[in-house]
Amino acid sequence: MDTQQVIINAFTPFVKTYWWMIPLLLLLSLLKTSFMKGVLGELFVNIVAKVRLDKRIYTLFKNVTLPTEDGTTQIDHVIVSRYGVFVIETKNMKGWIFGNPQQKTWTQKIYRHTTKFQNPLHQNYKHTQTLQAALELDADKLFSVVVFVGDSTFKTTMPENVVYAGGYIRFIKSKKQLLLSIHEVKVICNNIKAGRLKPSLRTHIAHVKHVKTIVGAKQKQNESTCLKCGKPMVLRTARSGVNQGKQFWGCTGYPACRAIKEVL
């Protein structure tokens, strides 16, 4: 009997007894992916909206993908009412969250692990602008809302439109001034239905591909830009020291700026 057969015979009883652990482990691995976290976060927002918002007053649209000049933009949720149009960006994150409206990136800290992510208010600004142009609405009739779901804690003061979980319902219901007529609400809902790309896996994949292209371009730009002063970086060669002969990215603002980056 060869080694392979011995291994098979040894593990066969275990697999027969604990076969259910295999799909469970696969499911747990899937739930940890960023894609599934996003899906679960949006599902939570969707359920809360359906339960706590009166359908006669508020109309919910989810996963609204709109064409833009350079591709597409995808909005997690749009809620239309006579009190305005609410554009919702969902973040399913845990840990401590640091940021303010002016910063380009915010910080997520989980114990000693620190991660930077795009300011969701800036991210949602493009969504709001695209929707505003498509609907030909005044800016004061649209509201940007960022909803954090998951076990996260704000460690800096956030504006009123950045909220935890169901807090976005309170924000929406706090708007009590009638901004749109019943007819205008109907027109807006019809325009969203007509202007959005058909919700499908193909639409989602095309949008994800577009986003990856943008992220790749930004990363390439960041490689040639000094993170300290914003000036261009140039490829240089160390002339002395333990790194003599090795190349590195050096800031063109030298000697005022001595920032360097390794060549990856």
Q: Considering the chain, what is the average pLDDT of its residues?
A: 80
Question: Could you tell me the pLDDT band of residue 214, with boundaries at 50, 70 and 90?
Answer: very low
- What are the helix (H) ranges across 84-197? 120-135, 167-173, 182-195
**206, 232: one domain:** no
Instruction: Tell me if 9 is assigned to some domain.
Output: no
**37, 102: one domain:** yes
Question: Could you tell me the pLDDT band of residue 109, with boundaries at 50, 70 and 90?
Answer: very high
**256, 152: one domain:** no
Instruction: Tell me if 11 is assigned to some domain.
Output: no
Least confident of 85-99, 154-168, 175-189, 244-258: 244-258
**233, 144: one domain:** no
Question: Could you tell me the pLDDT band of residue 30, with boundaries at 50, 70 and 90?
Answer: very low
**45, 140: one domain:** yes
pLDDT for position 221: 52
**211, 84: one domain:** yes
pLDDT for position 244: 79
Residue 230 belongs to domain spanning: 225-262
Instruction: Tell me if 84 is assigned to some domain.
Output: yes
**184, 232: one domain:** no
Question: Could you tell me the pLDDT band of residue 240, with boundaries at 50, 70 and 90?
Answer: confident
What mean pLDDT do residues 221-237 have?
73
Provide the domain count of the chain.
Answer: 2
Say whether pLDDT at 203 is over 70: no
**42, 161: one domain:** yes
Instruction: Tell me if 65 is assigned to some domain.
Output: yes
The backbone torsions φ and ψ at residue 179, rounded to the nearest 5 degrees and listed phi first, read -110, -20
Least confident of 17-31, 98-112, 218-232: 17-31
Evaluate whether 120 touches 162 at the Cβ level (below 8 Å): yes
Listing from the earlier edge strand, what are the strands of the sheet with 71-81?
A: 59-68, 71-81, 84-92, 142-149, 162-164
Instruction: Tell me if 17 is assigned to some domain.
Output: no
pLDDT for position 24: 52
**89, 130: one domain:** yes
**Tens-digit pLDDT profile for residues 139-184:** 999 999 999 988 899 999 999 999 998 799 999 999 999 999 999 9
Question: Could you tell me the pLDDT band of residue 89, with boundaries at 50, 70 and 90?
Answer: very high
Question: Could you tell me the pLDDT band of residue 262, with boundaries at 50, 70 and 90?
Answer: confident
Least confident of 129-133, 183-187, 210-214: 210-214
Evaluate whether 264 touches 235 at the Cβ level (below 8 Å): no
